[in-house]
Amino acid sequence: MAIGKPTPVVDARAKVAGRTQYTADLHRPGMLYGKILRSTHHHARILSIDTSAALRIPGVKAVITGLDMPRVKYGFGQRHREDMYALSWDKARFKGDEIAAVAAIDETIAERALEAIVVEYEPLAPIFDFDAALAEDAALLHDDSPGNLAGVLAFHKGDVDAVFADQRAIVVEGTYETQRAHQCYMEPMGCLAEWSSDGRLTMHIGSMNNSGIRWMLAKSLAMPISKVRVVQPNVGGSFGSKVTNAGIYPATAWLSKLSGHPVRIIYTREEEYFASRPRVNNRIWLKTAAGRDGTLLAREVKLLNDVGAYVEMAAAMLEVMSHRSDSLYRIPNIRFDGRMIYTNKSPIGAYRGFGNPQMTFAYEEQLDRIARELGMDPLELRLKNASRQGDVTVHGWELKSCGYPEALEIVRDRSDWVRKREERKLYRGLGVAGTIHEGDDRHSTGFAGSEATLEVFEDGLVSITSGEGEFGQGAHTTFAQIAAEVLTVPLEDVTVRFPDTDISAYALGPWGSRITISGGNAVRFAAEAARNQLLEEAAIMWGARTESVGLSGGRLFVESDPQRSATVAEVANAALYRLNGGIIRTVGKEEPPTTMMNPEIQSNPCSAYSFAAQVAEVTVDPDSGKVTIEGIWTANDCGRVLNPLMADAQVEASVLQGIGFTLSEHMEYRRGHLREAGFLGTGTPNVRDMPPVEVRYTDTYDPYGPYGAKGVAELGQPPIPAVLAAAIEDAVGVRFTELPITPEDIVRAIEKKGATS
């Protein structure tokens, strides 16, 4: 049995020996090293770009600006706003905006070439924050976007005003601010471009959205999509980020085209901070009403998302942020008003939770306040309102499995919540929070499923081809486990190919916790079809009826006559060499039974919904402001756990990223200038920051996911900012509504509290 067994990633032995190849490890004969010239201004008109001196440097093979490339605006995808050029040629919209690109025989010469490019800028008033962007006379980043509005979303369900006006209701409100944070995947973004003699472009990209990036490349380069091939090497982490265009892929392709050489560009870590796609910072205004018995009645949200200079995928994020958390608790009245605001910062991207940690930070604080006003245990308040299996929520989400109440009970019992709350200790605090996450959300009315091809070779080895992508999260391991389970072969006999758009089917990629559910089901269907083919071929081989043939332990046999038995390899070989036979090759196609996400009406956009509850216990040193996390208890409803080894680590890592986001991680801008651009200066956690974390699972079986499974990767992080803020409040009596919560903030708040009390 492969399912449910603790399984290291399938390529662990190669990785631990340093044998796996990531984009930066790829070399080609004659390969050039590319570099990007980035804007030194936050906001400026580009008057001229002189590349002549750079081109004269020996060893420089190509220098390009946006004027050398097709002048096509493009965006994240067909449904998304198109507001950027491959290289900016009219305006620079953030410090780091791509202005020109060079390719040279080594990196040093490429850097010299960058220094030799002369750009004449006319500086414009920069916009760094919401207030400046929304001011009456604000400069505009994009001429076609008045008020620096990149997009809006608003809806109203039920009647929130009636509830808020009701004197019997308890109403709380507040404003919450969150910061930009980098995903800090270890492998920097990059790509290698090469052209073949028939005019086809091949891009090797450590991406997690190969089909989508192929579309973006074709669009920005004005090429037919069939002439673009995206191949995915190993990817060194992503956490959502690498679903987007890094901003340099089209320019790298063009450098390669003009120079006639393969060109590789790898971001420096500094470029990662200045020009990649970090987590969005938000301002969330929230108002919640509950009845005197603690029943949640209404919620109103006004959300501002600082999307930076270009929209990229921010519209999808606004959509998901707008209503996802509404389905964690039963709440009948909802009003939402969200706006995306352009500022002169780098564009934003996806990061584990896709806005969930930020919204949960706000929502759960208000539940704590309501509980306090009612004198209720905050965990009991959550249990009272928790969504349950079978619920159809305020937005029409159908919770076919829901372990949230059980998760709350698990963390209550495991953390000894009741007893610890009774024995109050100075500067020690407890908090509770929960989350819901979508699995496999549908953002289109078209194909939103997954497709996998499976082959059983004549030596019995199984090969899976899926376009879904592996970036270290274990997708290939899950796929191999599923195929091994269906075909009853050893896990080692299954290999999974990396995506290559010439070979693998169109795929949406691993975002929205969709891979296990959607990609896993596609693999399961392909494996089941292969199993049926093997049974048929064995029946032909033996002249038996197909129904009389069985498969177990990697052997096919006639059920009534176990003497007649053969290995998978023997049957696959016989199938290949008989008249009208062939290789065992099957396709599994999954299309989720969901409706397109649309919070303005009712829809059920996800195949499955995952849940988590957490309790945290902290001690705060009032003199230094240092927060010591004594323990975090997590209970996760990811359906059936397919691989406990990987699931545990997914939760642990996600929790630590959440701790970083809550207590230290910060891309801090002062007057628009990014203060630090490295792991240490931005507060990336190391091994000492990992507290004791207990990972438990609810006993849930999802009817749709393969073998009852749902997504697990995005459950650890979302509750952390809320649960730590609650525990810190319990310890020091101050609720922080801005992230991150630093030691300085805590000391200052304790001093202020001491002065006023």
List residues near another protein by CB under 8 A: 6, 8-9, 11-22, 24-25, 27, 106-108, 183-188, 234-237, 239, 268-269, 471-474, 645-646, 648-649, 652-657, 678-680, 684, 686-688, 690, 693
Smallest distance from another protein to CB 695, Å:
9
Smallest distance from another protein to CB 657, Å:
7
Smallest distance from another protein to CB 208, Å:
11
Q: Which amino acid, residue 661?
A: F
Angle between helices 568-577 and 520-542 (to 10 degrees): 70
Q: Which residue, 646, 610, 391, 654, is CA-closest to 517?
A: 610
Smallest distance from another protein to CB 694, Å:
11
Smallest distance from another protein to CB 699, Å:
23
Smallest distance from another protein to CB 692, Å:
9
Q: Which residue, 370, 390, 388, is CA-closest to 378?
A: 370
Angle at 48 between CA 45 and CA 49, to 5 degrees: 115
Find out whether 34 and 103 touch, Cβ atoms under 8 Å: yes
Rounded Cα distance between 425 and 460, Å, is 63
**CB-wise, 472 or 605, nearer to another protein?**
472
Smallest distance from another protein to CB 83, Å:
30
Q: Which amino acid, residue 496?
A: V
**CB-wise, 234 or 366, nearer to another protein?**
234
Rounded Cα distance between 438 and 743, Å, is 34
**CB-wise, 288 or 634, nearer to another protein?**
634
Strand locations in 196-278, DSSP E?
201-205, 228-231, 263-266
**CB-wise, 450 or 657, nearer to another protein?**
657
Rounded Cα distance between 232 and 217, Å, is 15
Smallest distance from another protein to CB 198, Å:
29
Q: Which amino acid, residue 20?
A: T
| The token pair that represents 75 in the structure block | 């965006």
Cβ atoms within 10 A of the Cβ of 596, count?
Answer: 15
Rounded Cα distance between 32 and 262, Å, is 6
Find out whether 344 and 309 touch, Cβ atoms under 8 Å: yes
**CB-wise, 273 or 310, nearer to another protein?**
273
**CB-wise, 615 or 653, nearer to another protein?**
653
**CB-wise, 126 or 499, nearer to another protein?**
499
Smallest distance from another protein to CB 39, Å:
22
Cβ neighbourhood burial of 381 (10 Å; 0-12, 13-18, 19+): buried
Element (H, E) at 368: helix 356-374
Smallest distance from another protein to CB 25, Å:
4
Rounded Cα distance between 333 and 433, Å, is 21
**CB-wise, 6 or 582, nearer to another protein?**
6
Find out whether 435 and 428 touch, Cβ atoms under 8 Å: no
Q: Which residue, 451, 449, 430, is CA-closest to 441?
A: 449
Element (H, E) at 616: strand 606-620
Smallest distance from another protein to CB 472, Å:
2
Rounded Cα distance between 336 and 303, Å, is 8
